[in-house]
Structure 1
Amino acid sequence: MSRPRLPLYLKILLWFGVNLLALALLLFGFLSMQFRMSLDWMLSGEAGERIAAIGDNVTFELSSLPEKEWPEALKRYEVQHDVTFALFSSSGAQVMGTAVQVPPGVVPKLIDKRGPGDHPPPRRPLPGTGRRRPSDAPPKPRFLLRAGDPAHYWAGIHLDLTQESDNRPLTLLMVSNTITGGGLFFDAWPWYGLAGAALLLSALVWMPFVRGITGFIGRLNHAAGRIAQGNFGERVTRGRNDELGELSSSVNAMAAQLGEYVAEQRRITADVAHELCSPIARMQMALGVVEQRSTPEQAGYLSKLDAELQHMARLVEEVLAFSKAETLPDRETAEDIRLHELILAVIAREASDANVQLHVPAEMQLHSLHGALDRAIGNVLRNAVRYAGEYGPIHIHAEQQDGNTRIRIADQGPGVPPESLPRLFEPFYRPESARRRTTGGSGLGLAITKRCVEACRGTVTARLREPAGMEIEISIPSA
């Protein structure tokens, strides 16, 4: 089972996300340790302000109500804030509210140590804000801690509120099983907003850098693919002063050297083939003279020799055709072509005795290189007749779609092994089934086809048919 492919751009962003997650976990662990040790530091910020505001609100509201209505008022606060509210006396005993089991560590905090003159009258909160009115009086004693098993969060504030039966001030205790305390102890939303803003800002900072790297690698990969297809003139604009820039220079140098090497090999091949034409022609002339003076016993040997010379001549001719196919765009001019007429001429030349069924509209036209297209279709049809003509009709279809003319030549023969498909258009490549002298050619027919199609700015592909046969598709721009 193959591993799923992830683009490099996504991989870098994922690692960036993992990095942020690790930092967030580290921060969370640090804050958790701080919360476990002491939460008093939170009272100097918004948490302390909110607890003090709740204390003022409770003090003002309860002071204006009879004591018998206090439990109902505390219950409303519980529903509103999703936190347990209870009132305790200055001695640490609960006097009102939902019953709670106070841990030993919280009991000392409930005892109000203020003197009799330290209790200013309650202040009415600012309407609609829940905040306290400004005052020069010192803030009331507050506390916030984590205690109990299971652990809960306990917050309290000593109020300027007393019972009718006891003139000592009361303490408001708020209990929650989470650090947020319904938003009273800790408001997580600003932290979420901060984390989101940090993530967005980091992504905006990183994205140009990552996109620059992945975009350059994408262009480099595209150029390498073009070079692998034989386009040795492809170059990558450096544009960078780092390792990627050095890599692009290396790719450009490799493409230049490969281009020179392949051009040298093609020139040598063409020169050798051209030089072989003269001795082969002289040998054929000499063989003709010898045949005229030969005896009947020598005729069989001379016939075999003549067949070998003819095979050598055809091979040299194909090598020359392969070498010249590269310069077709310089030697031919594009013209309007009636495709139906062109293919009929190719059939008459290459497959006059074969069963070929043509499915091409008579009015179909395209603008391309006539000679190159004629040679490409002829080579494919010749192969189909040679290897699959005895297995059934050969079908030639053509259609125009998305600005391209697609020509499909399909047979019903044995085809080729699937592993041979990617190499069919390589020079001198022949599948094992085509290596016999009686049926196999030089291995240049489809290579010449590819060069002719590329001269027409098109592409050629091969695929196997089901249940048997093979199909060659030529796609050429219509205009």
Structure 2
Amino acid sequence: MRAGLSLTWKIALLAILTLVMLTVVLLIFAGVQFRISPENFIVAPTLNRVLSVSGELAQDLGETPVESRAELLEQLSKQYDVDFYLVDGNGNSLTRTPAALPKEIVDEIGQRFRNGGPRPAPRRGIFRATTGSPTRYWVSVPIRWRTADTSGLTSGYLVVMSDSFIGNQFFFDPKPWLALTLALTIVFVSVWLPLIRSLTGAITEMTHATSRIAEGQFDTRLEIRRGDEVGQLASSINRMTTTLAGFVKGQKRFLADIAHELCAPIARMQMALGILEQRADDKSIEYVADVKDDVQHMSELIDELLSFSKAGMQIAETDIVRVEVADIVQRVLERESPPGAQIQASVMKGIAVLANPDYLFRAISNLVRNAIRYAGSAGPISVSAHSEGQETVITVADSGPGLPENSLEEVFAPFFRLEPSRGRDTGGAGLGLAIVKACVEACKGSVRAHNRQPSGLEVEIRLRTA
């Protein structure tokens, strides 16, 4: 399944989209109801700062002689990192330093003076402009001040110029907006994060639980700590797990009961065939031998069914103790090694696991028996064990043809056989590796298989280190 956007990001993006849409609706409402343009939220603060600076400058100009005005403007330029010009209605400098203003700025100042008279209202006379070659940003505001040598007010324009629109206080100052964004982010995280963590945490817990259930761990249970729909889903998963456990346990008990009931008649059949074989003539002996082989095959199948069912039903009651791996491997090799078999054991003394001795012996025995049956002639078979942190890994590897990649997990399913190479004559009933898996899981461990390079199959048992 293709990986998509996580639920956390989906909720976060939905919350951000909701906030953006709400902002747009409020701006539209403010424009319709109060005639407030969205531009005012950006322009108004910068114009207020220009007016504030012009008011302070007007007081200083009244106490500053004409020859010192250029120095006063230079100080302001260094303070605010922009250029200041003081001009009259014709664009001429009111300081000793010439003001080389673009023609469009001079024309606009003159137009404002003509429309507003010699004393234009400060806010009505403010204008903003952008010129090119190179790009420059301008804002101009009327300014009036009183000097000691005149009885009236002197009028002019304070012109502010910058080569950047962002990063200064007179065009666009991002600091308040960054502060607002930070505040909104803190509010968003404070409000939404607990909900997001609660939902995603519960979903993640259920995902892990259902994965364990899919692997056959039907003792898995979810803790129900909430009464909403997520809690109801967790409760449903628990009920489903209980039902599945009952079905599987009932199925295995049914198989065990059938196998147990068949043991007695098959034993009697084997005994009768033994007597019949002694009394049969030369013409009948071959038929008796064929029937005897079939009955023996049925007996082995029933024994495997019993082993598989018992291992699956007694997981909760399994006695887990400290087991020396080397001792178990030695017993397996003494029992399963036929004459001429090449089996190499590499298990150090002292490596111990937490397991049931009988189940671990049966699991390793089945793996060694399978390796001998399917790959005994292809090369040596190795049995090894080593520790990895808090786990011990036991491996049985051969040099045979291996398995198709898509069968590496299915091979542990009951009655799974690769056809036609592993049919009845060579592959048994398909319960060998299923019994291995049941025995290992009864010991609270895991088992998996993978192909070796260039050829061969390796089965890996992982158990808790004792």
TM-score (structure 1 length as normaliser): 0.82
Matched with 1:156 is 141
Q: Is 1:230 matched up with 2:235? A: no
| Preserved CA contact (<8 Å) 1:85 1:98 | no
Aligned-partner SS, 1:472: strand
Matched with 2:445 is 458
| Preserved CA contact (<8 Å) 1:153 1:179 | no
Letter in structure 2 aligned against 1:99 = L
Task: Give distance in 1, aligned partners of 2:386 and 2:155.
Answer: 93
| Preserved CA contact (<8 Å) 1:156 1:172 | yes
Matched with 1:145 is 127
| Preserved CA contact (<8 Å) 2:86 2:156 | yes
Taking structure 1 as reference, are residues 32 and 81 closer, same or farther at Cα in structure 2, changes over 3 Å only? Answer: farther
- Which of residues 174, 180, 190 in structure 1 aligns to 2:176? 190
Aligned-partner SS, 2:145: strand
| Preserved CA contact (<8 Å) 2:417 2:423 | no
- Aligned positions of 1:147-226 closer than 5 A: 147=129, 153-161=138-146, 169-176=154-161, 182-184=168-170, 187-226=173-212
Deviation at 1:385, TM superposition (A): 0.6
Task: Give distance in 2, aligned partners of 1:360 and 1:184.
Answer: 79
Task: Give distance in 2, aligned partners of 1:200 and 1:315.
Answer: 67
- For structure 1, which segment, 423-432 or 332-341, has the greater mean C-alpha deviation from structure 2 after superposition? 332-341
Deviations 1:124-158 (A, max 9, x none): xxxxxxxxxxxxxxx96664334567795533132
Deviations 1:190-215 (A, max 9, x none): 22212211111111110000001001
Aligned-partner SS, 2:217: coil
Task: Give distance in 1, aligned partners of 2:17 and 2:123.
Answer: 43
| Preserved CA contact (<8 Å) 1:424 1:446 | yes
- Which of residues 276, 286, 291 in structure 1 aligns to 2:262? 276
Letter in structure 1 aligned against 2:127 = L
Task: Give distance in 2, aligned partners of 1:67 and 1:450.
Answer: 98
- For structure 1, which segment, 330-339 or 426-435, has the greater mean C-alpha deviation from structure 2 after superposition? 330-339
- For structure 1, which segment, 259-268 or 59-68, has the greater mean C-alpha deviation from structure 2 after superposition? 59-68
Deviation at 1:470, TM superposition (A): 0.8
Task: Give distance in 2, aligned partners of 1:463 and 1:37.
Answer: 65
Task: Give distance in 1, aligned partners of 2:318 and 2:228.
Answer: 45
Deviation at 1:29, TM superposition (A): 9.8
Aligned-partner SS, 2:427: coil
Task: Give distance in 2, aligned partners of 1:40 and 1:328.
Answer: 73
- For structure 1, which segment, 93-102 or 218-227, has the greater mean C-alpha deviation from structure 2 after superposition? 93-102
| Preserved CA contact (<8 Å) 1:77 1:85 | yes
Q: Is 1:307 matched up with 2:306? A: no
Deviation at 1:438, TM superposition (A): 2.3
Matched with 1:77 is 76
Deviation at 1:384, TM superposition (A): 0.6
Q: Is 1:339 matched up with 2:325? A: yes
Letter in structure 2 aligned against 1:157 = P
Aligned-partner SS, 2:226: coil
Task: Give distance in 1, aligned partners of 2:343 and 2:39.
Answer: 92
Q: Is 1:449 matched up with 2:436? A: yes
Matched with 1:135 is none
- Which of residues 402, 411, 427 in structure 2 aligns to 1:440? 427
Deviations 1:406-460 (A, max 9, x none): 1111111001111000112111111225532221111111111111112222111
Deviation at 1:180, TM superposition (A): 6.4
Identity %: 35
- Aligned positions of 1:22-101 closer than 5 A: 47-48=47-48, 50-89=49-88, 91=89, 93-96=91-94, 97-101=99-103
Task: Give distance in 2, aligned partners of 1:384 and 1:209.
Answer: 53
Deviations 1:31-79 (A, max 9, x none): 9999989859966x6843x334422443344444442443454344334
Deviation at 1:88, TM superposition (A): 3.5
Taking structure 1 as reference, are residues 335 and 265 closer, same or farther at Cα in structure 2, changes over 3 Å only? Answer: closer
Matched with 1:125 is none
Matched with 1:407 is 394
Q: Is 1:378 matched up with 2:380? A: no
| Preserved CA contact (<8 Å) 1:175 1:181 | no
Task: Give distance in 1, aligned partners of 2:142 and 2:42.
Answer: 15
Q: Is 1:397 matched up with 2:384? A: yes
Task: Give distance in 1, aligned partners of 2:318 and 2:137.
Answer: 89
Taking structure 1 as reference, are residues 231 and 364 closer, same or farther at Cα in structure 2, changes over 3 Å only? Answer: closer
| Preserved CA contact (<8 Å) 1:105 1:147 | no
| Preserved CA contact (<8 Å) 2:63 2:147 | no
Letter in structure 2 aligned against 1:424 = V
- For structure 1, which segment, 229-238 or 445-454, has the greater mean C-alpha deviation from structure 2 after superposition? 229-238
| Preserved CA contact (<8 Å) 1:67 1:163 | no
- Aligned positions of 1:113-152 closer than 5 A: 113=117, 143-147=125-129
- For structure 1, which segment, 165-174 or 445-454, has the greater mean C-alpha deviation from structure 2 after superposition? 165-174
Q: Is 1:431 matched up with 2:413? A: no
| Preserved CA contact (<8 Å) 1:368 1:478 | no
Taking structure 1 as reference, are residues 31 and 78 closer, same or farther at Cα in structure 2, changes over 3 Å only? Answer: farther
Q: Is 1:293 matched up with 2:295? A: no
Number of residues paired by the alignment? Answer: 453
Deviation at 1:328, TM superposition (A): 4.8
Deviations 1:343-377 (A, max 9, x none): 11211111232100111113433443211111111
CA RMSD of aligned residues (A): 3.6
Letter in structure 2 aligned against 1:413 = G
Deviations 1:261-314 (A, max 9, x none): 222211211111112112222222232233233221111111111111100110
Taking structure 1 as reference, are residues 18 and 264 closer, same or farther at Cα in structure 2, changes over 3 Å only? Answer: same
Taking structure 1 as reference, are residues 402 and 329 closer, same or farther at Cα in structure 2, changes over 3 Å only? Answer: same
Task: Give distance in 1, aligned partners of 2:42 and 2:10.
Answer: 40
Task: Give distance in 2, aligned partners of 1:23 and 1:78.
Answer: 40
